[in-house]
Every structure is written in C-alpha cells, then in structure tokens.
Structure 1
Amino acid sequence: MVMAGPSDNGGAGAIWIFTRSGGTWSQQGNKLSGTGAVGSARQGSSVALSSDGNTLIESGPADSPGPLFSDGANWIFVRTGGVWTQQAKLAPSGGAGNPSLGVSVALSADGNTALAGGPQDNGSLGAVWVFTRSGGAWTQQAKLVGAGAVGSAALGVSVALSADGNTALAGGPQDNDSLGAIWIFTRSGGTWSQQGNKLLGAYAAGAAQQGTSVALSADGNTAVAGGDFDNGGNGAAWVFTRSGGTWSQQGNKLFGTGSLGAAGQGRSVAVSADGNTLVEGGPSDALNMGAVWIFARSGGAWGQLGSKLVGTGADSTGNLVEQGFSVAVSSDGNTVVSGAPSDAQQTGAGWVFTRALTPAAAPIGVNPASGSGSFQIFQFTFSDPDGYQSLEVVDILIRDVLDGRQACYVAFVPSGPNSGSLYLVDDAGDAGGPYTGMVLPGGGSTPSNGQCSIYGGSVSGIGNTLTLTLDLSLNNFPGNKIVYMAAGDARGNSGWQALGVWQIPFTPAGSISVLGLAPERAVLGSGTAQTLIATLKDDKGAGDFGVVNVLVNNFIDGRQACYLAYVSTTNTLLLVDDAGDGGGPFAGSMMLNGSAGTIQNGQCSVNSVGSAAGKSDNALTLTLNVTFTAGFSGNHIVWVAGRDAAGGNNTNWQAMGTLTVQP
C-alpha cells in the first residue's frame, strides 16, 4: 500500500510504503522522494503500483514550474529485496504549454506501461502520455488527445490502465461546460488510437463533472467514471462495459444511501480486477468527515453492499477529514483503502477495510450423515446467500476417494433453461457426459450406472436453502464410502466437501475389520476437545492386534494431518509430525491408561486424560481426546485402519466419519 503526502517538506512531496503481514501493516523503509525535481514538485499527488507491488510510479505535477502551470514529471521506483530505489524520472515531450503531467498516473500489471495525465496541456484541453519500459529503460511511446472534446475538457485529470496495458481510460471533467466525459484508447502493435466516441453517462443532474475519477477492470472491459458534482454535489458514478469493441452504459448511475449532505460521491472510484466490486468515495459527507460506499455486480445488475464505511479514530481538529478523497481496492475486491488528506490538520491518514469471505454457494449436509445399507433415501441440503434460485448446479459424489470414475456421481441443475434436470454420470466419470438423467419433479426413468441407480427424487427450496431428496440403490458398490457434495453459482463453486460416510455391506478381506467410529459426524470449534471412539475386531482375539491408525485429513495423506498410530503391544500412542511419514519422526508419544500428558503437531493435540485403549474378547476400542487447531479448519474425513502384529492382516484405510473444524 502506498500513502502519499504531496505537501510534505514545503510542497516537495513524498510517499510512504506499507506492507501487510498476518493482518498487520508496517512501514517499509523510509519515505520516498524522487531525485532531480525542479522546484516544489508536490511528489505523491498521484501514485500507482504494479500487480506484484515491485514497481511504483509517483507524480509531481508541479515539477518545473512555468508562468501559470508546471511541466510536471513522474518518478519510477523499483523494489528488490525489500529495498526501494529510483529507476527513472519521466518528463513529457510534445506538450503544448505546461501540461502539469502527473495529476493522475496508472501502471499496467507488469509495471512496463505507465500512463500519466496532463490536464493543463494546450490551454487545458488536456492530454495523456504513455511511457514504456524495456530492459529497465523508460521511453515515451505516445501522447494521446481525445477527439470530440467541447471546450477545455482537462483531459487527464484522471487515468486508468487495463492489466495488459493495452486499454487506457482518461477523464475530462471540464468537457462541455463541466458535464464531463471519458475517453477510451487502445494499443495495437505499439500504436494507440481512440476507441469509439467519448462516453457520457446518462441520468446526470447538472454539471456532474464526469471523469473526475476513473477506473478500469483488469481486462479493460468495465470502465467506471465518477462525477462528484452531480445533483448539486451529491455525486455519482457511471459504469460502462465493452462488447466487441463497442461501449455502452450499464444500468443507472450509482450513488450510495445514507449520505449526510452533499457528499461528493465519485470524487474517487476504484474497481476490482474482475470489475464486479466498485468503490466510490465521498469526502464531503457529514460536513467533510467523508465516507466510502461499496457496490457489487451480479448478473449485470449493480447493488450497494452494506452501509457506507467510515473509519474510526479520525482527527477532525481542523474541521476536515475527507475520508474517501482517494480510494483503492485489491484485485479480489476484498480489501479497500480510503485516504483522508485532511485528517489531523492535514497530516493525513488512511483506513483499511476488509470483507469477510462468504462462499457464494455451499453444501450444508446430508441426512443421514452416516449409516449402512444398499438402499437409502438421502436428503442433500445446499445454500446460497443470494437465494436458492441463484444456485446453478449442485453435485453429489459417493465413493471411497474423490474420483468421478466408478462412482455414484450426480449433478442437479436448480435454475436456468435446464432447471430440474438430474444427471447421473457414467462409469467413465466425465462430468461433461455421457450420462443418464431424469427431470424433477416427475421422473419416469431410472438413471443407472455400474455403482448406483436413482429410483426417484424431489426438490424443494425456501429462502437460501435447497433440499434435494434422492432414492438411491447402491447394491453394486460394496465398501465404506465418502459422501462428497459441492455447489456452484455465478460467483463460483464451493469445491468438494466431505460431509458424510456410508457403508455398503461387504465382507472384510482378512481377520481384522473396522466396526465403527463414534461420532460418525461432528462439528466443533477449533480449540474445543472432541472425543473420537474407534472400534475394531480381530477374529483371532484382541491380543492379535498390532497397530491401529487414525488419520484426519482431506485426503489419504499424512502430511499436515492429524495422523495417529496406536501400538497395541506397548499401549503407546504416537502422533506423526507435520511431514507425515508414518515411520517417523513423531511429534510425540505417550502411554495410554497412565499418567497425564499431551502430544501435538500443527493440526491437533491429544490429551491422555480422556484417552484410553480397551480390549475385550476379539474387540479393541480406542478412545481419543482430540483438539484441533484453527489452522486446520474445514471439512475433514476420519479414516481408521488396523493390522495384526505380524502385518499379515491389514484392513487398509476405511472412511468411518467426517468432521468440520470451525475457525
């Protein structure tokens, strides 16, 4: 993150770099101020970063002052090993008069294309300069002037670049008596040209000064223009989208609710990489306390997310704070920065806001979550915070491993033109088909593959929840199976989640078998103790047991797992370390049925108090008092395996339960 102070040191200006680690922000190095400045350049008037954060451009529009305005300049800094050094000073060529280059700046994702606005060029008609880097050397590539301007448009007050640097956006808020407008330019083979006519948002009220601020999505297909003087200073933002090289306005103008007075919304705007999250700053809100508003796009429609954001701890000693004077948003749209240059009598400050991530769609569970039998009616439940109608597909996969081949793999389409369609993927396991299917409600057919048949089903939805009921036959599919579920909507897919186990009757291969686990399904918070009881049988008697293993993880993988081994002959419990080698080294060991003690690794700890091993006739019962760490949160499978002392009989891993560890 970059914080700028153009008034630092009598107007010389400077910038400060901050980095985040584990949620904590700290300053990286000393303040930066470019060398070679002429006069009080006001460095830091605008800043931009490359996507990897290692190239930075900062401007000094007052550099090299002239009679009325200045030539302006930009400075490039690069970071190596955490240390920032100046790479270049960029000055404009081909200017008409003193353009004040650097009132606005932008960088491509790779940091090799820079854009700088000079709104005072040619009697305030304005222009934009493009610079490119090759081998560490910077050169000017083009000067861009927008066609169709009316009067002194001040083109370049704001600029933005797409990630690849091939689409440029420039705002001219003074165009046509301050109605304002924006211009799009594209690059092909190193040559720049204007794409279409200038853009002016509809539904403006008065001299809105559209183009005071601008933003572009990473692909350059979504453009945002802010106009802070719309509707008597209330302000607004306009969104435009590109299809086939043609631009059109998307929806109405955007202005947030809850403003106090003429907020000046649109003084600053920012948009996430995918163009679906928009941030709008209103620094004049609540008598210049300022605020920011967040909007989200779904299905081409925009809506406000929550209430306006106002940072706490503001110092309004000088009667001004102006939060939202500048804004920025991370590429994923989950971190927002709001700048306030007037906080603490113009010392300035910034606030960082983060959005908690909630899966757009998620599987909730299966009922029953465990059991046995060849025939069963299951209820599978899914949710979507936007309403169950927003679910586009839900999936169920029943198998001993996460593999669609030779599985009972079902997909249901809750919405859209194929709404109600239920598909059973064939034995080859390709989700794209071929498959057999039926339509719910109704049916009439019996979809089947080599593992299961669907004898009917129903679907119901209320609020955010969808319930899919299926009557399944699993009689050609013996063994202990895992019930995986997934859900997807327009915003993404939850990924597969293990939420149940089911035993289809089978005959164990040897004399040892895993009888069960209690509980078979558990939901617990990290740091909360959970008792797990595994029961095994040896037809030769309990004294024949050698080792019993318990593995808690997403897959059969001992790495970064809660991986335990109980050695029956010594009554010793071993916890494998994070590297996951069953032969050791071990994170710890302890005797059961003895003194108090705890063993732990990065995923779990086991307390000897509450843990025990018991033998009776041909049965062994292993009781474990386990606590999981916050870093091990999520849905996991509990596998159990047993073998005799000679190693001749081995159950192999058997999926016996699932548990969810909440952070």
Structure 2
Amino acid sequence: MRLLIFSLIFSAHLHAQFTQQGPELSGADAAISLIDNKAGYQVAISSDGNTAILGLASDNNFAGAAFVFTRHNGVWTQQGSKLIGNSAVGLAEQGYSVAISGDGNTAVVGGKGDNNFTGAAWIFTRSSSGMWSQQGPKLVGTPAASGLNVGTEQGSSVGISADGNTVIVGGNSGNAPATAWIFTRNGSGVWSQQGNSFAGTGAAPGYEQTDSGGFAISADGNTAVIGGLATDNGNTGAAWVFTRNSSGVWSQQGGKLVGAGAVGTAYQGGAVAISGDGNTIIVGGNADNNYTGAAWIFTRSSSGVWSQQGGKLTANDAVGAAQEGWSVSLSADGNTAIISGINDNNSTGAAWIFTRSGGAWSQQCKKLVGTPANGELAFKQEGGSVAMSGDGYTAIVGSGVISGGTSSIFPGAWIFAAPPPPTVPAQVSVSPSAGSGSTQQFTFTFSDTGGWQRLQVVDVLINNVLDGRQACYIAFVPSGASSGSVDLVDDSGDAGGPYSGMVLPGSGSVSNSQCSIAGAGSSAAGNGNTLTLTLAITFEPAFGGNHVMYLSAQDASANSGWQALGTWNAPGAAVSGLGVGLVSPGRGSGLTGTYTFTFTDTKGWQDIAVANVLINGSIDGRHACYLALVPISASSVSVLLVDDTGDAGGPYSGMVAPGAGSVSNGQCSIAGTGSSVAASGGTLTITLPITFSAGFAGNQVFYLAARSGTLNTGWQAVGSAAVH
C-alpha cells in the first residue's frame, strides 16, 4: 500500500534578486517619426504580472497609441495590434498615461493633447479570446475644478481599480490646480462620471498643486491620491488623499502630505502610487537635493490618519543627479516599491527596488538597468515610467525618451522579475465536517498561496485510519476553473491503479467496494487561491462504521501532507452489545470547548466497565489527551487522565466528575466544574469541559472505545477538532 504523500520543499526567499526577463519590449507596429525627450513609453502591469500595457504618446506624430504584451512561460509577446481610441481630435497623444486592471482585462489610456489639450481617456477591454476593443466613447470630465475644460490636459495621468470598474483621470495645466475626475462602470459596461472633479486644498499662498503631478487609485477604488509638484514653500510639492463613501461621494482625507527631510526644491508629488488596500502611499520627488531625488512613504492608521513611515528613500548605488522618484509604484500589499531615476549615470536611467519589513524600508538589490538592443543608444532614460505587479515579483521599466539618433532602434520597456516564494498548498475544510448517513454531498475546500491554478492534485481519503486500502480514496486533478478529473483508487489502495475515473462536470459515476461518486451533484470551482470540490458520495453497506475524512493538497513545489478535517458515520449493521456513539460537537475549534461523549450497551449502562476517550492525530496514547472514564453511579464517573508517556502503568491524574477538581497533562486539562454525567437504560452520556494546550495545536481526532467484562468496541473515530 502506498499513499500519495510527498515531502514539503522549502526554499529561502529573502531579498530575492530581480533580473531582466527577455529582451526589451517595443511596439511592433509603432510609428515613430519625431523625437520628444518626454515621449517615451508609459507602462502599467496587471496584478499577476502577466499582462503589460505600454503607452507611446509620440506614436504617429503624437497621435499616440498603446500596446499590450502578455507573458507565457516567461516569454513576452505583443497581443494584437496597437490600441488607438476613436473620436480623437487633433494630436491627442494617446498613451501619455496608461493603467490596467488587476486581471489585465480592462485598460485605460490617457491622451492629454486631445481637442486642443482638453484631454481625454479611452477604455479598452479584452475578450476571452484575447481580442481588445474600445468600450464606449472617450471619457471627458466636466466641469473642471477651475471652471475651465480647455487646457485641462485630462489624461495626463490615469489609474484604475483592481476590478476595472473605477477609473481616475488626472489633468494638469499651468493655469489650474491638478484636478481629478472619477468615472465608474455599471453592470452593462457603461461608463459615467461620478460626482464633480476635485482638487486638493491647503496649498501655500501663491502656489497650486500643478504641473505634471501624479494620480493613483487603490485596488478597491475607494482611495485616491493626487500629487502636485509645483506647490508649497519653494516648490517642495505635496500629495493629497481623497476617499469615497458608500454614497459615491469623494472628499479629502486629512491635510496635504509633505515628506520630512526634503532638501531644496524637491517637487514632491511628481509621481505617486498607492497600495491595494489604500493604506500605503509612495510619493516621489525627483528634484530633491539638487536633483538627486528621493521618495517618501506614508501610511494610514485605522482611524484614517496619515503619517510618514521612516525617512525618505534614496538608492545607495545611484550615479550623479539621478532624479530618483521620477516614477514610483507599489505592490498590492504595499511592501514592495519600485523607484526610478531617469538621469542616473548620464541619462542611462535606472530603477531601484525597496521592501518593507516590520515598518522599516531598505533597498533590496542593486539598481535595475535594462540591456539595450543592438544598435540602440545608451541615452534612453530608463525609468521614465515604472510599474510593479500586485504580487511584487514583476516590474516593468519604460524608457523616458524615444531617440534613436542615427539608428532605427528605439528604446522601449524592460521587464524585471524575481522568483516568487514557494507556494503553499493546503487543505481548508470539509462541510459537513461530522454526521451520519449513507449518502451525502460533501464540500471539500483547498487553497494555494500561488492561486488555485497551482494545485496539481487534491486528495480525499475516508477510512477509519490513514490507510488507502479498502478506503474511499479520491484524487481530483483540476483542468479548469470548473472542470477536472475524479479518480477513485481501487480497493488495494496502491498508487499504480487501475483507477475508476470520470470528468467533472459530467453525468458519469465511479465506484469501488467502499463508495461511489455521482457526477450529478458533483462540481468543482476555482476562484482566487481557493479550490472547492463538491462530491456526491454514497457509502456501501459493507463500509459501515465511523470514519475519518483526511485531506491533502499538492502543487509543483510542495505537498500539504494529510490532515484529519472531519469524521463521518456510514450506517452499517445495528450494534449489539457494547458500542460508542458520536461526539458533540462533531467538529470543534480553538483551545477550549465542552464536549459530550455517548457510549451504549444493550445490557444496560451498568455493564460498561470503562469508557475511553483518546484525542490525538492518530491512535496513539503517547502525548495525547487520553482519558479513562469509570462509571461510579448514574450521575458520576471517575476521570483518569493518562500521563504524557501514554503507558498503562500510570501515574494517572484523577478526579471525580462532576466536581470541583481538575486533571491535566501536557496536552489538555479537564475541569470537574461544568462536567456532567447522565446514565439511563443502555446509554451513558458524559460531558466534559476540555482545554487544550497551545503546543497541542493541529487537527486532532476524537477516538472513543468502551469495554465491559468480556467485550471491547475497539477504537472508533467519532469527531475532530482544529486546535489552535
């Protein structure tokens, strides 16, 4: 007999190094004819890092366009033709800013030059076949906070929520504050402006939050940040936070954010980014300290108060006036940041990764500099735009300039990736986790930190002990979010088969001598990190008895091992003589609980000489919560708790229940107060308050046994508990 159990594989993931992934990306159908030192690729990337969008405002003589790339097995390719929004007026500079939803299926492209620099934004969506198309007309906000729309340059910056249903469009101009417009999408795919535009308040007299400030929005779409670099005392710059209430109304949260430690004209707010939950913000100031540049982190407390976290961030390997903080981005959890400096090393440009641990930020690795294509000039200003995937393991760095000089090779964008941490597969729950019946629809839940798609096989083993022989032993291999194959292991329980298999969804069935599973009533559902497997199981009469439900999960790097997550009684022949009942509750949770145990004897409860309760991961009295209960009367028992070594020789910790005493060992303690005993006819019922030790954490099984003068039931698994 061989169970499908594999060893866990561990690997360190401390300060993983980012390395360039493939050659630089550039739109295959880009039309570049002019040079603009600020017309390089703007970039954004999906949460999983597998879809990237590049905006190129200088495409086709500044009409502009955007390009989508996807990753498969580490290889990046352009997906479809370039995206060009319709109804553009004049040289719209589409692609001046870009953003993409968490799943990569909705993109927003800003064009600040549209219609004489009124500006606009365009929404594009991807179909299930990978085709991109414009969704609705271009978005133009009205009215501007200044009362003017002409020259507001809407689309100077854009952001989008994770679900793609909320978009922020930023506008910057020299004669009005940096202004934000919010647009939302309804269930029919129709976009509309939400409320009036807004701008931050509290700028110093004589200054406004203007000139190419950054704009960003949180994953849930309820927190937005606006940067204004030409504001406050000597153009120090600042950022403003806005939140949306349940009625869809936006309002400023607190005062402006100004990072401490700035030197000179910092231009804080020229770039901003926000974490998925909206509780961490990064603000770039590329002019700090004579254009060395820096970035500042701000965090929000539970009461909505913002404060700076640590000192300003600067790289330890920048060369010259790098202008760090030119562009910034954060991972979804806010623990990984990327900061660029376009002028590092004589305008070669670079980007830096910083990570947070315990509230402290530090540079993670050496600066990231993309390898140029053959014939490409070194003057490419890498870091003109940067973006970080939600998981924090893929970064994209766009060039800040499109200049081939005498060459036809133009700088593009570079992907940098770090190895993700080992994924962790796990079994989560069984529902129902206890009960009795010959037919039952069970729901088994599994998870994987890398997403349910990482799960290669999940196993369910139902038997009285952890043994694949003569068991209801099921393996499920997912093939899609709602599909996969169910294999029922044969009676001999070996891994070599033959297996009885069927496909879900389907109407077939599989069976062995212990159970059968019907396709009708069975299903699979993968979502996020969770895989839910529902199986309609019928137990054969010969398989009657009390059984444990063991679960395991495996992906490419690890196996969870078996865990007992429930028990089930399959009805069999009627018990004659001595017997054990179920425990209530059938599935416990936590360190404390009150449990009721039932024992039976057709000769009368007085015939029960001793009733045993063994709580452990398996039938093993060592380091267990192992009780011997000796009836004294119809309302009392002697409680003996076996010592940690588990041998029958004692010493035992004893008391009478109910009573004022208690007994304990290294695994548990039982209180006499709150306990009760009720004996009548052929039934003995004992209720005990049990407190488990923290060191006894895990999924534990309740085994019951009883003996009389001549009979012994043997151990029966009748319940379980998640001790934590």
Q: How far does residue 2 in structure 1 lie from its aligned partner after superposition?
A: 0.2
Pairing partner for 1:297 from 336, 356, 375: 356
Matches of 1:340 and 1:21 in 2, distance apart? 23
Question: CA, structure 1 residues 357+55, in 2 after alignment: closer, same or farther (shift >3 Å)?
Answer: closer
Q: Deviations over 1:243-281 (max 9, x none)?
A: 111111000000111111111111111001111111111
Which moves more between the two structures, 572-581 or 246-255?
572-581
How many pairs align?
412
Matches of 2:321 and 2:500 in 1, distance apart? 61
Match of 2:238 in 1: 181
Pairing partner for 1:76 from 95, 111, 123: 123
Pairing partner for 1:159 from 189, 208, 215: 215
Match of 2:141 in 1: 92
Matches of 1:259 and 1:557 in 2, distance apart? 57
In the alignment, structure 1 residue 355 sits paired with structure 2 residue 418? yes
Contact 1:564 1:573 in 2 (8 A): no
3-state SS of 1:200 partner: coil
Which moves more between the two structures, 306-315 or 169-178?
306-315
In the alignment, structure 1 residue 201 sits paired with structure 2 residue 259? yes
| Alignment-mate amino acid for residue 325 of structure 2 | G
Contact 2:293 2:322 in 1 (8 A): yes
- 1:586-601, aligned counterparts within 5 Å? none
Contact 2:490 2:512 in 1 (8 A): no
3-state SS of 2:197 partner: strand
Question: CA, structure 1 residues 562+350, in 2 after alignment: closer, same or farther (shift >3 Å)?
Answer: farther
Match of 1:132 in 2: 184
Q: Deviations over 1:287-310 (max 9, x none)?
A: 122111111111111111121112
| Alignment-mate amino acid for residue 64 of structure 2 | G
Match of 2:163 in 1: 110
Q: How far does residue 312 in structure 1 lie from its aligned partner after superposition?
A: 2.2
Normalised by the length of structure 1, the TM-score is 0.56
Question: CA, structure 1 residues 272+549, in 2 after alignment: closer, same or farther (shift >3 Å)?
Answer: same
Matches of 2:428 and 2:200 in 1, distance apart? 56
Pairing partner for 1:168 from 202, 224, 227: 224
Q: How far does residue 579 in structure 1 lie from its aligned partner after superposition?
A: 7.0
| Alignment-mate amino acid for residue 54 of structure 1 | N
Q: Deviations over 1:549-597 (max 9, x none)?
A: 899xxx9644459999899xxxx9757599797979xxxxxxxxxxxxx
Pairing partner for 1:55 from 106, 127, 132: 106
- 1:271-282, aligned counterparts within 5 Å? 271-282=330-341
Matches of 1:242 and 1:316 in 2, distance apart? 47
- 1:405-554, aligned counterparts within 5 Å? none
Percent identity over paired residues: 42
Question: CA, structure 1 residues 578+207, in 2 after alignment: closer, same or farther (shift >3 Å)?
Answer: farther
Matches of 2:295 and 2:490 in 1, distance apart? 61
Matches of 1:355 and 1:190 in 2, distance apart? 38
Question: CA, structure 1 residues 576+24, in 2 after alignment: closer, same or farther (shift >3 Å)?
Answer: farther
Match of 1:17 in 2: 68
Question: CA, structure 1 residues 322+316, in 2 after alignment: closer, same or farther (shift >3 Å)?
Answer: farther
Match of 2:281 in 1: 223
Q: Deviations over 1:521-568 (max 9, x none)?
A: xxxxxxxxxxxxxxxxxxxxxxxxxxx9899xxx9644459999899x
Match of 1:148 in 2: 202
Q: How far does residue 19 in structure 1 lie from its aligned partner after superposition?
A: 1.6
Matches of 1:261 and 1:562 in 2, distance apart? 63
Match of 1:451 in 2: none
Q: How far does residue 314 in structure 1 lie from its aligned partner after superposition?
A: 4.4
Normalised by the length of structure 2, the TM-score is 0.51
Runs of 5+ unmatched residues, structure 1: 363-400, 405-427, 429-487, 489-508, 515-547, 585-629, 639-653, 656-663
Question: CA, structure 1 residues 320+203, in 2 after alignment: closer, same or farther (shift >3 Å)?
Answer: same
In the alignment, structure 1 residue 43 sits paired with structure 2 residue 111? no
Match of 1:484 in 2: none
Question: CA, structure 1 residues 578+10, in 2 after alignment: closer, same or farther (shift >3 Å)?
Answer: farther
| Alignment-mate amino acid for residue 85 of structure 1 | S
Runs of 5+ unmatched residues, structure 2: 1-51, 435-448, 450-463, 478-485, 504-509, 514-553, 563-617, 620-724
Contact 1:562 1:575 in 2 (8 A): no
3-state SS of 2:263 partner: coil
Pairing partner for 2:294 from 224, 232, 236: 236
Question: CA, structure 1 residues 61+573, in 2 after alignment: closer, same or farther (shift >3 Å)?
Answer: closer
Match of 2:268 in 1: 210
Match of 1:634 in 2: 558
Contact 2:474 2:487 in 1 (8 A): no
| Alignment-mate amino acid for residue 99 of structure 1 | T
Contact 1:295 1:302 in 2 (8 A): yes
Contact 1:290 1:310 in 2 (8 A): yes
Contact 1:283 1:291 in 2 (8 A): yes
Question: CA, structure 1 residues 403+163, in 2 after alignment: closer, same or farther (shift >3 Å)?
Answer: closer
Contact 1:269 1:281 in 2 (8 A): yes
Q: How far does residue 637 in structure 1 lie from its aligned partner after superposition?
A: 6.4
3-state SS of 1:146 partner: coil
3-state SS of 1:89 partner: coil
Question: CA, structure 1 residues 266+556, in 2 after alignment: closer, same or farther (shift >3 Å)?
Answer: farther
Matches of 2:366 and 2:487 in 1, distance apart? 42
Q: How far does residue 173 in structure 1 lie from its aligned partner after superposition?
A: 0.5
Question: CA, structure 1 residues 107+566, in 2 after alignment: closer, same or farther (shift >3 Å)?
Answer: closer
| Alignment-mate amino acid for residue 634 of structure 1 | A
Matches of 2:87 and 2:357 in 1, distance apart? 48
Contact 2:154 2:170 in 1 (8 A): yes
Contact 1:322 1:343 in 2 (8 A): no
Q: How far does residue 129 in structure 1 lie from its aligned partner after superposition?
A: 1.5
3-state SS of 1:212 partner: strand
Question: CA, structure 1 residues 198+312, in 2 after alignment: closer, same or farther (shift >3 Å)?
Answer: same
| Alignment-mate amino acid for residue 147 of structure 1 | T
Question: CA, structure 1 residues 199+155, in 2 after alignment: closer, same or farther (shift >3 Å)?
Answer: farther
3-state SS of 1:148 partner: coil
3-state SS of 1:258 partner: coil
Matches of 1:271 and 1:63 in 2, distance apart? 29
Q: Deviations over 1:498-524 (max 9, x none)?
A: xxxxxxxxxxx9xxxx9xxxxxxxxxx
Contact 1:237 1:254 in 2 (8 A): yes
Matches of 2:309 and 2:469 in 1, distance apart? 58
Match of 2:19 in 1: none
Matches of 1:16 and 1:142 in 2, distance apart? 31
Higher RCO by CA contacts (8 Å cutoff, separation 6 or greater) = 2
Which moves more between the two structures, 307-316 or 144-153?
307-316
| Alignment-mate amino acid for residue 141 of structure 2 | P
| Alignment-mate amino acid for residue 89 of structure 1 | K
Question: CA, structure 1 residues 112+261, in 2 after alignment: closer, same or farther (shift >3 Å)?
Answer: same
Q: Deviations over 1:125-168 (max 9, x none)?
A: 33222222223222222211211123143166210011221211
Contact 1:316 1:344 in 2 (8 A): no
| Alignment-mate amino acid for residue 146 of structure 1 | G
Matches of 1:343 and 1:316 in 2, distance apart? 14
Match of 1:541 in 2: none
Matches of 1:203 and 1:311 in 2, distance apart? 31
Matches of 2:360 and 2:340 in 1, distance apart? 20
| Alignment-mate amino acid for residue 173 of structure 1 | L
Matches of 1:234 and 1:88 in 2, distance apart? 42
Matches of 2:256 and 2:158 in 1, distance apart? 20
- 1:563-642, aligned counterparts within 5 Å? 632-635=556-559
Matches of 2:397 and 2:332 in 1, distance apart? 18
Matches of 1:265 and 1:314 in 2, distance apart? 24
Match of 1:661 in 2: none
